[in-house]
């Protein structure tokens, strides 16, 4: 058979593919993807498959005497593909009309003249008091909810339901009294007008104070206006509470790369607390996340808004500039000018001789390389003297003030998806930063570089619990890699996996790869045995999830030297996996080494399971509270902006 080209071998040493569910050993079989049929283990299918050498008994058509093949057999069909998770057009919920009939008073009024009403035996026809839903004009103090039936107010569905339930169970009003709009209502309105400080849109919670329209109107009109204000005010307060606790955006509607259970918000309870509160501003302020990360983002947003319009003029450098030591470039004068503008005073002092001597040459000399390396070091970049996209981004000042504000608002929204308290001990992976942080005792103990999924194999955004560490792991090849990358070559060279030392099994029975008919067989599991060449290296840290994402070692250590590290099939590769394993196992690196040295594959439970956040923040504070900004490697912030726009449109649509 035709041997497999060496280029294909590299594809098999990649990290796990996670975008397509659990590893193949725990999921649908290979043939399910080849044919789009049910598994042979499904007894309801009524079909029988020869799982090794023969073909499916139910293949359409008849055997071709010349070729010995079925005309419509899998080998004659286009190769299948496992599709990546999808991004969606964000669908925001339309507002719902509050059903005031559930709590508006049923007013009692005298019936018509009994002499004009036939006596039918029905109490309502005898001149008794009748109940109708239209209130007569009356004094506010006698029936404060008069004219509530005239209210037309809309709110998000959960908010509308909470208002209906609350007012059905409680008499009286929260925001108005006999004198009109209360001071509590005015305080609440004043607070809601400032919620841009926490990344929300004040227009979403704006309520018109009717007091200015009272002059010259009769009591009936005044009361109608106050009833409308009462319900609109409750809707505004509850919408803010819901938004700031769980977020305006449902992340699961953005893409299949998000996996969150939206928080439950006790909105009816919020109205109860608001009713009893003596400081409504303090109560509403307390609903936003209080963790130090959110507070740092809030402070950064205030700082950026105060400085808005004071951006330093950017020195433009051509986006396609790529410069190595010894090369020449007409962009070099701009690069040196940008260093003069962006470098710290200390760096400019240390490099003063080089900066003073530079006269605009296009030659990238050793002295200028040292200058660039110093600038790269100062900005946390790899100090290799190579000027590419990453270095240019810093030379041009990174994000503009406006883009930083946008990133902060996105980050504050994303913080609302996570628990208000991340915990005293947790792992936090920030994908755009290509970094994992380990926290214990409420402090960052260490961080390390990671490799995350490439743009074509993106890592998901979700939270879970660290539960297991596996030493000398097997790599169960994900079905996406089998179908998308291995299968075309296996059809030409069935012995390929045998030569690479992979194990293949059918229905739990280990068989040689060369004995499998890759055109038609089903229930094939593929795995790579433990060893230093294993795609997962020597240790794997698991937080079992349906996306089959985990942290692990890798034999490809050179990837950690790169600034842009979105390079894997979706799992998270650790630059120092033994250190992380020791931390999560409450032990030492020496103990981890001893476990690995046995050469035995074993899974061990973490002594104390704790949270892990596989997150995506293009703006996030470091351990010192300084907000750092990162490239939007998956362009997810753009989808968030579209979700914001869709939500605004739905909330402000004309009635």
Q: How many helices (H) and strands (E) does the chain have?
A: 20, 21
Instruction: Work out the pLDDT band at 515, boundaries 50, 70, 90.
Output: confident
What is the arithmetic mean of pLDDT over 524-541? Answer: 90
Beta bridge partners, 438, equal 427, 446
Q: What is the pLDDT of residues 60-80, one digit of tens each?
A: 333 333 333 334 444 445 566
Write a three-state SS string for 515-534. Answer: HCCCCCCCCEEEEECCCCCC
DSSP structural state of residue 586: T
Tallying the residues shown for the chain, one arrives at: 655
pLDDT reading at 48 higher than 60: no
DSSP 26-85: GS--HHHHHHS---TT-TTS------SSS--TT-SS---TTTSS-TTSGGGSPPP-PPPP
DSSP E strand boundaries for 164-300: 176-177, 180-181
When the pLDDT of each residue in the chain is averaged and rounded to a whole number, the result is 83
| 411 touches 426 (CB < 8 A) | no
What is the arithmetic mean of pLDDT over 538-548? Answer: 95
Instruction: Work out the pLDDT band at 427, boundaries 50, 70, 90.
Output: very high
pLDDT reading at 185 higher than 60: yes
pLDDT score, position 496: 85
pLDDT score, position 523: 65
Coil, helix or strand for 287? coil
Q: What is the pLDDT of residues 8-35, one digit of tens each?
A: 333 333 335 433 333 333 333 343 333 3
Nearest to 563 by CA among 458, 435, 404: 435
pTM comes to 0.78
Whole-angstrom distance, CA of residue 15 vs CA of residue 569: 6
Coil, helix or strand for 454? coil
Instruction: Work out the pLDDT band at 139, boundaries 50, 70, 90.
Output: low
| 482 touches 24 (CB < 8 A) | yes
Q: For residue 76, give both structure tokens.
A: 């004659």
Instruction: Work out the pLDDT band at 94, boundaries 50, 70, 90.
Output: very high
Which are the contacts of 509, defined by CB distance < 8 A and separation ≥ 6?
none
| 103 touches 271 (CB < 8 A) | no
What is the arithmetic mean of pLDDT over 383-389? Answer: 90
Among 310-319, 500-509, 624-633, which stretch is predicted with the lowest mean pLDDT?
310-319
Whole-angstrom distance, CA of residue 145 vs CA of residue 224: 9
Which are the contacts of 452, defined by CB distance < 8 A and separation ≥ 6?
429, 431, 434, 459, 565, 566, 567, 568, 570, 572
pLDDT score, position 151: 96
Instruction: Work out the pLDDT band at 334, boundaries 50, 70, 90.
Output: very high
Among 61-70, 116-125, 218-227, which stretch is predicted with the lowest mean pLDDT?
61-70
Among 181-190, 248-257, 389-398, 611-620, which stretch is predicted with the lowest mean pLDDT?
389-398
Beta bridge partners, 428, equal 437, 613
């Amino acid at each position: 058979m035709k041997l497999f080209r060496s280029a294909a071998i590299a594809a098999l040493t990649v990290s796990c593919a996670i975008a397509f569910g659990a590893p193949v050993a725990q999921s649908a079989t290979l043939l399910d993807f080849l044919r789009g049929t049910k598994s042979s283990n499904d007894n309801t299918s009524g079909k029988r498959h020869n799982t090794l050498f023969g073909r499916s008994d139910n293949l359409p058509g008849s055997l071709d005497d010349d070729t010995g093949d079925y005309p419509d057999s899998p080998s004659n069909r286009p190769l299948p593909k496992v599709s990546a998770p999808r991004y969606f057009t964000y669908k925001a919920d339309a507002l719902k009309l509050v059903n005031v009939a559930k709590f508006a008073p049923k007013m009692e009024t005298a019936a018509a003249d009994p002499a004009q009403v036939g006596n039918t035996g029905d109490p309502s026809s005898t001149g008794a008091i009748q109940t109708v839903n239209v209130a007569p004009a009356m004094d506010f103090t006698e029936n404060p909810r008069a004219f509530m039936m005239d209210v037309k107010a809309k709110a998000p569905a959960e908010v509308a339901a909470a208002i209906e339930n609350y007012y059905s169970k409680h008499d009286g009003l929260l925001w108005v009294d006999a004198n009109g709009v209360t001071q509590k209502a005015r305080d609440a309105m004043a607070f809601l007008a400032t919620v841009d400080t926490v990344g929300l849109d004040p227009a979403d919670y704006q309520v018109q104070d009717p007091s200015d329209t009272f002059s010259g109107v009769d009591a009936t009109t005044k009361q109608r206006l106050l009833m409308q204000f009462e319900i609109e005010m409750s809707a505004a307060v509850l919408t803010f509470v819901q938004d700031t606790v769980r977020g305006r955006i449902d992340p699961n509607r953005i893409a299949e790369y998000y996996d969150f259970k939206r928080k439950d918000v006790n909105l009816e309870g919020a109205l109860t607390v608001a009713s009893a509160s003596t400081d409504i501003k303090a109560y509403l302020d307390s609903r936003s996340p209080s963790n130090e990360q959110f507070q740092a983002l809030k402070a950064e947003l205030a700082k950026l808004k105060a400085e808005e319009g004071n951006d330093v003029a950017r020195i433009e450098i051509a986006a396609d500039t790529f410069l190595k030591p010894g090369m020449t470039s007409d962009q070099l004068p701009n690069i040196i000018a940008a260093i003069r503008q962006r470098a710290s005073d200390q760096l400019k002092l240390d490099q003063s001789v080089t900066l003073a001597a530079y006269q605009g040459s296009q030659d990238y000399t050793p002295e200028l390389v040292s200058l660039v390396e110093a600038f790269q070091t100062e900005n946390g970049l790899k100090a290799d003297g190579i000027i590419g996209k990453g270095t240019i981004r810093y030379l041009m000042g990174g994000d503009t003030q406006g883009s930083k504000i946008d990133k902060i608002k996105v980050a504050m929204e994303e913080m609302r998806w996570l628990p208000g308290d991340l915990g005293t001990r947790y792992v936090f992976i920030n994908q755009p930063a290509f970094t994992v942080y380990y926290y214990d005792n409420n402090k960052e103990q260490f961080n390390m570089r990671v490799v995350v999924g490439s743009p074509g194999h993106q890592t998901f955004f979700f939270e879970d619990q660290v539960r297991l560490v596996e030493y000398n792991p097997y790599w169960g090849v994900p079905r996406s890699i089998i179908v998308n990358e291995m299968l075309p070559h296996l059809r030409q060279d069935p012995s390929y996996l045998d030569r690479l030392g992979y194990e293949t099994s059918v229905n739990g029975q280990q068989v040689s790869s060369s004995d499998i008919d890759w055109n038609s067989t089903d229930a094939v599991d593929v795995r790579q045995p433990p060893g230093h060449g294993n795609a997962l290296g020597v240790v794997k840290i698991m937080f079992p999830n349906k996306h089959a994402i985990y942290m692990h070692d890798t034999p490809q250590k050179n990837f950690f030297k790169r600034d842009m590290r979105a390079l894997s099939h979706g799992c998270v590769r650790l630059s120092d996996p033994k250190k992380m394993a020791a931390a999560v196992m409450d032990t030492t690196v020496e103990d981890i080494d001893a476990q690995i040295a046995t050469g035995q594959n074993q899974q061990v439970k973490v002594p104390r399971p704790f949270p892990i956040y596989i997150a995506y923040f293009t703006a996030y504070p470091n351990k010192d509270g300084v907000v750092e900004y990162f490239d939007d490697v998956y362009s997810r912030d753009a989808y968030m902006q579209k979700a914001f726009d869709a939500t605004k449109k739905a909330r402000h649509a004309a009635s």
